[in-house]
Structure 1
Amino acid sequence: MPADTAMKREDGSTWLGQPARALSPLDAERARAEIASLSEGAADMGCPRLAGLLAGGGPLAGFLGAVFDLSSYLRDCARRDPSILEALFDEPLAGRLERLNRQIAALPFAEDASEASVMAALRRLKREAHFLIGLGEVAGEADADTTVARLSALADACVGAAVDFLLRDAHRQGRLRLPDPEQPGKDCGWIVLAMGKLGARELNYSSDIDLIVLIDPHAPAVHEPVEAMDLFVRLTRRLVRLLQDRTGDGYVFRTDLRLRPDPGSTPLAMPVEAALNYYESRGQNWERAAMIKARPIAGDRQAAAAFLRELQPYVWRKYLDYAAIADVHSIKRQIHAHRGHGEVAVAGHNVKLGRGGIREIEFFVQTQQLIAGGRFPELRGRQTVAMLKELAARGWITAEAGRALVEQYWFLRRVENVLQMVADEQTHTLPEAPQELQRVALLLGYGHTETFAAAFRQALRTVESHYAALFETAPQLSRGVGNLVFTGDVDDPGTLQTLSELGFERPSDICRVIRGWHFGRYRATQSAEARERLTELTPALLEAFGGTRRADEALLRFDQFLSGLPAGIQLFSLLQSNPRLLALLATIMGAAPRLAEVITRRPHVFDGLLDPALLSELPSRAYLAERLESFLGAARVYEEVLDRLRIFAAEQKFLIGMRLLTGSIDAARAGEAFSDLADLAIGAAFEAVEAAFAAVHGRVAGGRAAILGMGKLGSRELTAGSDVDLILLYDHDPQAEESDGGRPLAASHYYARLTQRLIAAVSAPTAEGVLYELDLRLRPSGNKGPVATHIDAFRNYQRKNAWTWEHMALTRARPVAGDATLCDEARAEVEAVVGLPRDMAALAADAVKMRDLIEKEKPASGPWDLKLIPGGIIDLEFIAQVASLSGRCTASPRPTATGAVLASLSPDFADAQTREELARAHGLYMTLTQSIRLCLTGPFDPQDVPPGLADILLRGVDLPDLSVLEAHIAETARRVRGHFDRLLRDRG
């Protein structure tokens, strides 16, 4: 198309295929600057038509300016290669995408094709297609349905090209004897199956691709069947590298092979016969569900189709056995465990895994397919929406429910795509920062964040309400409660049967416990009215606890809780009228022994759950500060302040934990909230201690004190069970010798005694428990030094005498309370010490030496000891700390959080792929650690984990089974250790 023609079509009927959607930028001035810069760059790089169009202004230029202001990823793609847009003058977007897929497919057949050339071309062509697919979505040229189909077709082309190249390369080297090199996959024996969203052709914008790779060692192309395993495992490793490794040209797709059988102990590619034997003898129901979406994508498609045909009886059973029904019920329980808990927060909500999200729709469809697909072949499709329509057409769900869920599914998928389009990040969580949330809203075409938030909440409510109703009315899942008789002292046979059906393993023991309630043996059940309410509540209680998978333990924990209540009628009335509270209580009793112990010892913390807005309000510092001020109220007596602080902190820890447990916040947000709570509580305790201490001993002239948070408090990564690491710093007038009170103390003695009072105020057990366990061992000279440190002594020690490990610990230091001016001085001093010039080799050598010593003296207790395993949390923390001390962190201001440091390692220290893998590893470890520390008081034992906790962990990392998670941890740790060795050990 001539440039002048393009200009004449500036009414918006553009080369995007239709008028571009009107978008507003966050910053209009910046958007204009982006267009001016791109116009100039386009002219310099030989794109005159694009340069002229942009320079002329108009609706299309305005649209592109808004896009590039809102999405750094799309902006950077356009800056890097303006010819992507220039090409649209000659070919519409849809046609250009088809051409790119054909070019990708042709790559392996070029005469000069090499691994390097194919890697580079794949990345260049994928980046162009990815950019155009994103532009089409935000312009309104494509709907979400079209976008996911385009993304899936792009992934198909890329995987197919990589596999074809590797097969032809193996043929050239004589390792394979392909019957037809022009059709490399034919009879090659290498089977590549697409799973998950790629298998269903429903890929999201920045998605991983899930693959399973199998081998037919007797295929015609294989020379020696006994060598086939070794050959195809090597080819699979190369395939992952071709697709996943980041180079100067970027990456193609992150590739995940964890859905293969028993991933912790099987090779990356396994023989078809071994896979079939596994599925038939040991396959689990989640694997059956995963296989619904399996699709041949590359390699030997004929062998792949034969494998899937042979697997049909395993996936599609004519009759469900008891174990399968139990698994479906367990999925139902997961859904009920986190539904209906009040209003939903938009900021920070997980579009995929959160309440009312994408996964709920997918879960329901898959469970119905497992239930009925064996008898109804029409329910065996891979695609979510197609199966929703089929379920409605066949009467499994109402037509209205089908329409509503399809509509909201595509709405949520569009939100997910646009969220990932901002920076090409694999995120599903809406931003918390108002400006970033506004960015997403504007990119979706909403004029205001509030308009988007209202639409988003409505979508979640629609999904949640239909979802709950679907499960309650789903065929083969509905049942009523049978006999429940607890009078007399003899077990009623019908009641025992009912309890067994509800999920209790020792129904006679459960009968005895419940009879104890009705006999009024606890204070909570002594009144006739309380027993009457409890009798009415009992069926619902038993159903709720029966749904926790370890029902007996859950009910016995509730019995302990009941035994400590001073009264019961109010609680029973609340639970009877508030099903969401009952569901939360069942979740706690079934999944979280630690939380169950908390509410057993302190029943009042449960009161916080009565707030209907609980889960819609993020526990920000401002939110917690406001509630703390209100809770302390007019308390003036020292002991009363400390008791109220304990009550407040216990309740808020519990409520933060409940938000994490129900998926309202993620692990990173929970760490920040636990840390903010500690800051505020310790700060308030310190104020009370200072005032009480000054009343007796007066004050030191010019005296100032500040608390430096260290360790996980400093990095804002506290968990529910963390100790708190502190250093108390002080300063005073040089001439001041002692305090001015009735019982004066020398200045150094004054602050030492003040610190000891603080330790007692925070750590001493009272009737209300302990506020926090304090650890002051990170102060200068450790346990041998004074408990309080003068700022000058701190400065002198850190600059002259501190060991490397002490400077590493200092990278996480953060003032958390005390005099504002001294906090500023301490912060500046920490930054000055961290920024001192250092010899990188010596620094790395010291860090490696310390890591080796820890590994020798305190080895990991097992694969779930996430802190101590080689490649675990300590490795990540050491990498981040060395990077901070050597100036290899690009973020400004320098962050103290380990994850933030890892995500901003400088390119000369770690390449983009390394940064991404380290940050993702830290995210995985934090997600698991937060939930485990919240729910358990001791170490995690996968052989004896409460099933409810297993569900929570798996939901948090979006994996189907603990064995897959354990394999993922092992693979993650292996990669982290490799990075640790390369970044530190090899430099030391």
Structure 2
Amino acid sequence: MAARKPVQRIETEWRLQPAARLLSLDENCSRRELSEIADAAEEEGLPRLAKFLAAEGTVQDLLAAVFDLSPFLRDVARRRPGILDRLFDSDVEARLMAIGEAIGKAAFTDSVSETSLMMELRLCKAEAHFLIALADLAGEAEPALTVRRLSDLADACTRAAVDFLLRDAHGQGKLKLPDPENPARQSGWILLGMGKLGAHELNFSSDIDLVVFFDPEAPAVIDPLDATELFSRLTRRLVRILQDRTEHGYVFRTDLRLRPDPGSTPLAIPVEAALNYYEGRGQNWERAAMIKARPVAGDLAAGEGFLKELQPYVWRKYMDYAAIADVHSIKRQIHAHKGHGEIAVKGHNVKLGRGGIREIEFFVQTQQLIAGGRFPELRGRETVPMLGQLAARGWITADARDALTRQYWLLRRVEHAIQMVADEQTHILPDSDEGLERIARMLGFADAKTFSETFRASLQQVERHYAALFETAPELSAGVGNLVFTGDVDDPDTLQTLQRLGFQRPSDICRVIRGWHFGRYRVTQSAEARERLTELTPALLKGFGQTRRADEAVMRFDEFLAGLPAGIQLFSLLQSNPALLKLMATIMGAAPRLAAIITRRPHVFDGLLDPALLNELPNRAYLSARLAAFIEGDRAYEDVLDRLRIFASEQKFLIGVRLLAGAIDPARAGRAFSDLADLTIEAALQAVTAEFALRHGRIAGARVALLGMGKLGSRELTAGSDVDLILLYDHDADAEESDGDKPLAPSHYYTRMTQRLIAAVSAPTAEGVLYELDLRLRPSGNKGPVATHVDAFKKYQRQDAWTWEHMALVRARAIGGDTALCAEVEAEVAAVLALPRDAAKVIAEASEMRALIEKEKPPRDLWDIKLIPGGLIDLEFLAQVAVIIGHVEAGRRVTATADILARLAPDFAGADIRQELCDAYRVYLALTQMIRLCLTGVFERDDVPPGLSDLLLAVTDLPDFGVLEAHLKETSRKVRKDFDLLLRAKRP
């Protein structure tokens, strides 16, 4: 024991303590090799290292195993033992930082030349490379840290070479750098790291993928016409500096082939040309590649600016169905084996083979392409963090995240081990027993057999998740039966199949489907589209058959197809999403309004792809965050308005789908529709205000408040509601006109601005209408100005307003504008509603108004829920009268009819009546929301759309339509009885 004490003392001085135990292939040989390195250390004048390597201990055991298993690392240690010696003075991390600093300074020494820089970079890279590998094999660094260290090293070397070349060009008068001490800044030379470099996931012997652009208008550029030649020449020199082999080795092999059209473009491309290429001719694989793009050297700010410009190309604001189709075709070419057949470990390609690294990367990037346009958090470059984000958003399961993360890092360790043997850019496991044993021991396994079992299980697990990613519904025709639509004659077996699926007129259905397959619509004119639709047809028919009105559903889908300009994307989407197909069948069978939206705007389907859709509540915070992401950036006025229309249309559809699917109840749907209107109308107001000010300036002390009235104010909007608004304004008392080029007096200013707002919100455009606005509830109605000064509003409400106007004020709510003015208006509304009144007079006037409406607008039938005796108007009148005569329990002011009914004072309505009224309102709200969601016109009792009756039963929890109608009659009878009791019986 005493003889080993010096060894222990020496070991404590060594800064890399092994966390893993590796076994040599040949114990005697490995000790001999370590001894040879000790001799080399002695010859280099490194006695402490020589003594240390000659001793015994865990570190020496590790080093002996490492140098036996990796001839590359052994040769580096023999040639440059000083690398090992420096680990007595600093640990690996500190040494890597020092090397990074040395690389960063290499371009700035007085005597630097291209030759000296090449030598310095190679020496620094070799030492860093060696240390990164040693730390990895010793278990000091997890693979996540190893790939980050390798990527940082590549960044540093590339930047040093770029800085040198820029300073050299400056010295020759080819560039005029604003700051030669910070040469990259404003140089206009953009170098994007792609692939694993861009993602900070470089492997041990990796090439680095670069794409090079330049800005000919950058401050450093002297002659924009010469810039292409200049930056291409600099790029060629950069490649030579990094990859030419000298007696000191090489830095990084460099690949420039990911640039646009590499066969016919220069090495450096002007940014404008690149943007035009990507936006006009870019391929989907190039979009996928750009996910990982990162400015690594040169003008980093310009690089970030370029990527920001490119965002709309990479991250589509709508789901690009053609991209999904491309992904499917790529997938079919790659072919997932779904775990069938044994995977041979020997000779397996860890990167490209079954269950390999590429499958995990492809798995992640596919989901990113699909969802990243909608969810910025899914736009990250790194594979494992994106697995976490995909799981957090529900695109993949936690099990898939954990399994793929675990296997990704195992596969990366295997990849590194393969490359550390001889520093070769290979991903293929050895096909010999000894070679496989070597890799197994480098990874800490006892033998090749144990490694092979673990590795094969890993590949199979990756393969299962990867195969599941693109699985369509199991064979689409499975279990459906015979379906033949060729020729002109109906196939008897097909007619039987259709009848069994629920179709009443199978021959008509055959005729319709033959029309699809004969390419009679634009959507099916291409052979590929017809092929996709043929594959999809069995599943479509099965889905439509389950709507109970299968024939009508197919006819609506036929109308949908007739109006589509193209179909490949949609058919691919439905084919790969069985749940989406089922929802499509429900919409076609039950909801003409939604069907019409899909027909006009197929992009609304994008939102349905989000797996979290039915779990996420469309509350104000959710909608606000989505809207902010959708309209972010500097945009032209019309572009902002168009995006608001697109956003509102899409979100109305998605709120409706949630209601249709039962994910939210009708009351929550009403709040969501109203929050959506609040947010988009306020955003429109902001856009209009800013645009109007460009021409007419602003008025001193100007403030605006939007007062939501009617169903917007009570947060009970439906899918088809108009929006009732009052615009109020205020300004400094002495303000006479605005301060713009074309000044206007305040009243004229706000009248014009309000008219501009009405046009912005209500004018029909290619993207539709945001909302139909109704401003008739403003003081003096249609006769008064469209904008009202807040003082005039206050005076009118206190001195001139009719009872019905105060009743309307019960639902008033500030929805946007200046916060302080909104609060002031809310307070004024509350004060007006609290004014003392003659209760008997109010009740009499309300009762007379209701009788007048009943006379002038009699209900069509029982289903005219708003106007029937005992219908919605009765409930709304009861609530509004109770508020303005002070018969609502104290508490925070509420505007929703349901909330007011629940708080009717006991001296106005007893508990039983209050409960009856609340129950009735709940039923009416449910029916109204669902009917307005599904229908654009009136509800025709004798022509209920396919499936709508089922939805109405589901939302009211009643067993059949007859029971529902009976319940509706009884409910309206009770409400009218209560209305008469509470209002008409109390008339003077």
* TM-score under structure 1 length normalisation: 0.51
Q: 1:490 Cα deviation (Å)? A: 2.8
Shift of 1:561: 1.9
Aligned residue runs from structure 1 range 144-159, under 5 A: none
User: Displacement of 1:512 after TM fit?
Assistant: 2.3
Count matched residues: 514
Name the CA distance, whole Å, in 1 between partners of 2:604 and 2:914. Answer: 40
Shift of 1:689: 0.6
Deviation string for 1:283-326 (max 9, x for gaps)? xxxxxxxxxxxxxxxxxxxxxxxxxxxxxxxxxxxxxxxxxxxx
- In structure 2, what is the equivalent of residue 680 of structure 1? 679
**1:481 correspondence with 2:480:** yes
Map residues 315-394 of structure 1 onto 2, 5 A cutoff.
none
Q: What's the offset of the Cα at 1:718? A: 0.2
- 1:728 and 2:730 are equivalent in the alignment: no
1:748 and 2:766 correspond: no
SS in 2 for 1:614: coil
Checking the alignment, whether the CA contact within 8 Å between 1:561 and 1:603 is kept in structure 2 is no
Instruction: Name 1:974's counterpart in structure 2.
Output: 973
CA distance in 2, matches of 1:982, 1:791: 38
TM-superposition CA deviations, 1:801-843 (whole Å, max 9, x none): 0000000000000000111111011101100100101111111
Letter in 2 for 1:708: L
Q: Which residue of 1 aligns with 2:951?
A: 952
SS at match of 2:635: coil
Amino acid in structure 2 at the alignment position of 1:500: Q
Deviation at 1:773, TM superposition (A): 0.4
Cα offsets for 1:506-560 (capped at 9, x unmatched): 3233222222222233333233222222111111111111221221221121122
Q: Deviation of residue 706 (structure 1)?
A: 0.8
Q: What is the deviation of 1:907?
A: 1.0
Map of 2:804 onto structure 1: 805
Q: Are 2:513 and 1:514 equivalent residues in the alignment?
A: yes
Measured after TM superposition, the shift of residue 957 of structure 1 is 1.0
Q: Work out whether residues 552 and 946 of structure 2, in 8 Å CA contact, stay in contact via their aligned partners in 1.
A: no
Rounded to whole Å, the distance in 1 between the matches of 2:691 and 2:505 is 55
Matched residue, 2:932: 933
Deviations, residues 743-781 of structure 1 (Å, cap 9, x unaligned):
111110110111111110000000011110000000001
Secondary structure of the corresponding residue to residue 726 of structure 2: strand
Aligned to 2:580: 581
CA–CA separation in structure 1 for the residues paired with 2:638 and 2:503: 46
Give, in whole Å, the separation in 2 of the partners of 1:869 and 1:875. 9
State the distance in 1 between where 2:764 and 2:547 align. 34
Aligned to 2:499: 500
In the aligned structure 2, how far is the partner of 1:932 from the partner of 1:703? 42
Identify unmatched segments of 5+ residues in structure 2: 1-397, 400-476
Give the drift of 1:936: 0.8
What one-letter code is carried by the residue in structure 2 that aligns with 1:716? R
CA deviations on 1:9-30 (whole Å, 9 max, x unpaired) are xxxxxxxxxxxxxxxxxxxxxx
How far apart, CA to CA, are the structure 2 residues paired with 1:884 and 1:814?
15
Q: Are positions 1:817 and 2:816 aligned together?
A: yes
Structure 2 partner of 1:630: 629
Matched, 1:700 2:696: no
1-structure distance, mates of 2:518, 2:686: 49
Alignment correspondent of 2:892: 893
Match of 2:879 in 1: 880
**CA distance, structure 2, for counterparts of residue 486 and residue 984 of structure 1:** 65
Is 2:640 the partner of 1:661?
no
CA shift, 1:635, in A, is 4.9
1:545 and 2:522 correspond: no
**Which residue does 1:943 correspond to in 2?**
942
Which amino acid counterpart does residue 909 of structure 1 have in structure 2? F
CA distance in 1, matches of 2:951, 2:614: 17
The one-letter code matched in structure 2 to 1:957 is: T
**1:920 — aligned with what?**
919
Amino acid at match of 2:606: D
Change in 2 beyond 3 A, CA 1:899/1:891? farther
Q: Distance in 2 between matches of 1:635 and 1:778?
A: 35
Superposition map of 1:193-342 within 5 A: none
Structure 1 window deviating more from structure 2 (976-985 vs 808-817): it is: 976-985
Residues 646 and 769, structure 1, Cα contact 8 Å, conserved in 2? yes
Q: What is the alpha-carbon distance in structure 1 between the residues aligned to residue 651 and residue 723 of structure 2?
A: 17
State the SS of the aligned residue for 1:889. coil
2:891 and 2:723 map into 1 onto residues whose CA distance is 26
Question: d(CA) in 1 for partners of 2:637 and 2:518?
Answer: 43
Distance in structure 2 (CA, Å) of the matches to 1:574 and 1:604: 12
1:503 deviation in Å? Answer: 2.0
User: What residue in structure 2 maps to residue 642 of structure 1?
Assistant: 641
Structure with higher RCO (Cα < 8 A, 6+ apart): 1
Q: Does 1:595 align with 2:594?
A: yes
Secondary structure at the counterpart of residue 900 of structure 2: helix
1:704-723 alignment runs, 5 A limit? 704-723=703-722
Q: For 2:945 and 2:526, how far apart are their aligned partners in 1?
A: 34
Structure 1 distance, partners of 2:643, 2:521, is: 27
CA drift at 1:891:
4.6
Aligned counterparts of 2:650 and 2:508: Cα–Cα separation in 1: 32
Q: Is the 8 A contact 2:718 2:929 kept in 1?
A: yes
Q: Distance in 1 between matches of 2:539 and 2:588?
A: 15
1:5-58 CA-partner distances (Å, limit 9, x unpaired): xxxxxxxxxxxxxxxxxxxxxxxxxxxxxxxxxxxxxxxxxxxxxxxxxxxxxx
1:554 corresponds in structure 2 to 553
Contact 1:484 1:539 in 2 (8 A): yes
Map of 2:792 onto structure 1: 793
Report the RMSD for the aligned CA atoms in angstroms: 1.8
Equivalence for 2:522: 523
* Cα gap change, 1:891 to 1:865, in 2 (>3 Å): farther
SS state at 2:952 partner: helix
Counterpart of 2:610 in structure 1 is 611
Distance in 2 (alpha carbons) for counterparts of 1:492 and 1:635 = 59
**Cα separation, partners in 2 of 1:503 and 1:766, compared to 1, 3 Å:** same
Q: Is the 8 A contact 1:891 1:901 kept in 2?
A: no
- Partner of residue 328, structure 1: none
**Within 2, Cα distance between the matches of 1:561 and 1:718?**
27
CA distance, structure 2, for counterparts of residue 979 and residue 481 of structure 1: 54
Q: Which amino acid aligns with 2:957?
A: D
Distance 1:891 1:512 in 2: 65
CA–CA distance in structure 1, aligned partners of residues 920 and 634 of structure 2? 45
Paired with 1:859 and 1:729, the residues of 2 have a C-alpha distance of 35
Q: Higher mean Cα deviation, 486-495 or 731-740?
A: 486-495
Q: Which residue of 1 aligns with 2:904?
A: 905
Equivalence for 2:769: 770
Q: Check if 1:837 corresponds to 2:809.
A: no
Q: Which residue of 2 aligns with 1:491?
A: 490
2:507, 2:761 → 1: CA distance? 45
Query: Identity across aligned pairs (percent)?
Result: 73
1:635 and 1:516 map into 2 onto residues whose CA distance is 47
Instruction: Describe how 1:563-578 pairs up with structure 2 within 5 A.
Output: 563-578=562-577
CA distance in structure 1 between the partners assigned to 2:937 and 2:862 by the alignment: 15
Post-superposition offset of 1:792: 0.5
Letter in 2 for 1:520: G
Contact 1:548 1:586 in 2 (8 A): yes
Following the alignment from structure 2 to structure 1, what is the Cα–Cα distance between the partners of residues 964 and 515? 41
Q: Flag the structure with larger Rg.
A: 2
TM-score, normalised by the number of residues in structure 2: 0.51
> For residues 77-92 of structure 1, what are the structure 2 equivalents within 5 Å?
none
1:868 correspondence with 2:888: no
Q: Distance in 2 between matches of 1:508 and 1:696?
A: 64
Q: Is the 8 A contact 1:635 1:641 kept in 2?
A: no
State the AA in 2 paired with 1:767: A
